[in-house]
Structure 1
């Protein structure tokens, strides 16, 4: 547990960067600091690993005052991910990942085992461990930056605008990855961001700051439903109306029944099913309803004379969302990637529904204007 008790930071000239910050962060919680430039959000986070020391107040880590700890030792036990990634260019990916374990005197066997375990978590091949950062794309480098922060099994991970330099699609994918890893390993993540969508998507609680003071500290749902004042209301933005809709929160409440077909069926059978059900996309499943891929009408029309079965032409890189995720996350994905339809799957990747762009339009209309009866 991390306790920030009445902490302030005052610079020369009397400028108060952070004023009387009180915050208790539980193990496994995801906290996002957000605010305008100069709001104090970065200063607040950097005081946690003593990159900046507070002027007053105290910060307790598991009951121990961090001011009484060796700052180098403290930092080795707190992971850190920055926007500039920070990989050392003269070191291999393996050495970059195991940098902190090396400082902590891990054995070669343990370091290599940890590097191989982590790189597979971010869907990169083991051969990348012997490559150098310059040989990887920006998104791949940032994946390495994330898992490097997890390499020494630190309980707290700090993230300083980690996705700001990435393109929208890569950023969206990495956000999903970070949330998945945070839940999987039950780590405490504390992130600084200027992106409200990012904070809403990732955080359990959001700290909105302005001029060094906390304006509102609450869950994303409560902030969206009950902004503290006009500053928060403007910061959220009117375009997030869909997120404040009280009776549609998760994809499960907005999804509709999917149209599925098994992989051994013929292309002609698929065309008949599309015609009967008036859809332009079919999801391919096995006998346990596990999603294998999808085909759309263009795939079938182009391929029906060349191939016989769906397994020969289906697309296997189907983007899906997990049952239970917040609806606003799926809305952002549909808008950013210009996707018409997204399947919803359970933890065994069995398809349980689909969310379509057209159905979301109906929800938005209801949100803004309601029904005639209302």
Structure 2
């Protein structure tokens, strides 16, 4: 779909910011450009929408040379998200989301439909469309910045370190959002980052650059197993390299069967099940096992006194991961968010498993001591 051939950018007559790079990106891929400062990753990205004009080489999209297209029209056909998300403060959220569609002269009906569709995708209420950026939190503004790039239904989305200035939890949440949107919509995402963990988590393939050149372009698993040279090995870091250990297994290898209750059950039935299973938190689903939320022991106490139903009592803001997620992402999330467990769902949001701190600990023990030997146990440590 997108083909880069012998692309070069020279500044000041001699400095090669990008030096003769070539790569092909397929439709629907998530590509991460990564490298140290001055590696050429951002310059390469910005040549794709001609914010920077190449010195030589070609970029084609669906076989068409982008230099033959009007640069303004080209930019309107490619989504773009930057670190400073640039929501216009004097415009409402709806006006910000539909900025490019307005330039493309969409009808009011189509703009309204698209704004409602996109704000729903990022789990923000529809009434936010009439608010201004200053009335939203930084994380909420960042979500709007992400979906604004999708508003004109472009097939290619460029993202230039969009989460670099965010706190770890907000960043983690938005990474999940971006990956979910990319998979759901089938768009081609090209993402610049300096964070190797972020690249591994998000990308189908990673392009590692140094001094304007591509050092290695491959899947995260292949790069971690077979770094091209010492530069890549050092850039990745020894802690991430795969050396016949399970840190790249998917959650399917580690999840346990979750305890859940359907939303139509009574509080008394919920209490009985939690007591039977000796748990302090229970997941709530509908009759078809779609994950709806959770109830913890504090909720139960309050709800029982007030005679509330499960549907009114349950928490709906629940972090979940997909069945194909890498296990190391679950470990990172549990540490960052300080949560005890994470539900695992399929593409239809059907509850199929649970990742807990305790079963992750078992995997760590297996990694350190091996499955054939027992971890040393100190006296008096039989019970947690």
- In the superposition, the TM-score normalised over structure 2's length comes to 0.88
Q: Higher mean Cα deviation, 309-318 or 211-220?
A: 309-318
Q: Does the 8 Å CA contact 2:225/2:241 hold for their aligned counterparts?
A: no
1:223 pairs with 2:210: no
Cα displacement string for residues 123-169 of structure 1 (whole angstroms, at most 9, x for unaligned residues): 22222222222222111111111111111111111101111122222
When residues 243 and 73 of structure 1 are mapped into structure 2, their CA distance, relative to the original with a 3 A threshold, is farther
**2:92 corresponds to:** 92
1:306 aligns to what?
A: 305
d(CA) in 1 for partners of 2:318 and 2:131?
A: 29
SS of residue in 2 equivalent to 1:150:
coil
Q: Secondary structure at the match of 2:282?
A: strand
| Separation in structure 2 between the aligned mates of residue 251 and residue 363 of structure 1, nearest angstrom | 11
Partner of 2:341: 341
**CA 1:348 to 1:28, structure 2 compared with 1: closer, same or farther past 3 Å?**
closer
Alpha carbons of structure 1 residues 248 and 188: separation in structure 2 relative to 1, 3 Å: closer
CA contact (8 A) 2:246 2:367 kept: no
Contact (CA 8 Å) 1:266, 1:308: kept in 2 or not? Answer: no
> Which residue does the alignment assign to 1:141?
141
1:360 maps to which residue? 360
Q: Map 1:188-203 onto structure 2 (within 5 A).
A: 188-203=188-203
CA deviation map 1:319-342 (0-9, x unaligned): 222222222222221111011111
Cα distance, 1:239–1:338 mapped onto 2, change above 3 Å? farther
Q: Which piece of structure 1 moves more, 38-47 or 319-328?
A: 319-328
Write out aligned runs for 1:95-134 (5 A): 95-134=95-134
Pairing 1:32–2:32 present: yes
Q: What CA distance in whole angstroms lies between the structure 2 residues aligned with 1:296 and 1:104?
A: 49
Specify the alignment match of 2:377 in structure 1: none
1:239 aligns with 2:239: yes
For the pair 1:6 / 2:6, whether they are aligned, the reply is yes
Q: Is the 8 A contact 2:79 2:150 kept in 1?
A: yes
TM-score between both structures, scaled by the size of structure 1? 0.91
Q: Which whole-Å CA distance do the structure 2 matches of 1:124 and 1:230 have between them?
A: 45
CA distance in structure 1 between the partners assigned to 2:93 and 2:266 by the alignment: 45
Change (3 A) 1:244 1:235: farther
Greater alpha carbon shift after TM alignment, 160-169 vs 322-331: 322-331
- Counterpart for residue 67 of structure 1: 67
Structure 1: 5+ residue runs without aligned partners? none
RMSD value over aligned CA atoms?
2.5
* Distance change >3 Å, CA 235–CA 100, structure 1 → 2: same
Of residues 360-369 and 70-79 in structure 1, the stretch that sits farther from structure 2 once superposed is 360-369
8 Å Cα contact 1:221-1:244 kept in structure 2: no
Which runs of structure 2 are paired with 1:208-219 in the superposition (5 Å)? 208-219=208-219
Q: Give me the whole-angstrom Cα distance separating, in 2, the residues matched to 1:317 and 1:89.
A: 28
Aligned counterparts, 1:239-258, within 5 A: 239-240=239-240, 245=245, 249-258=249-258
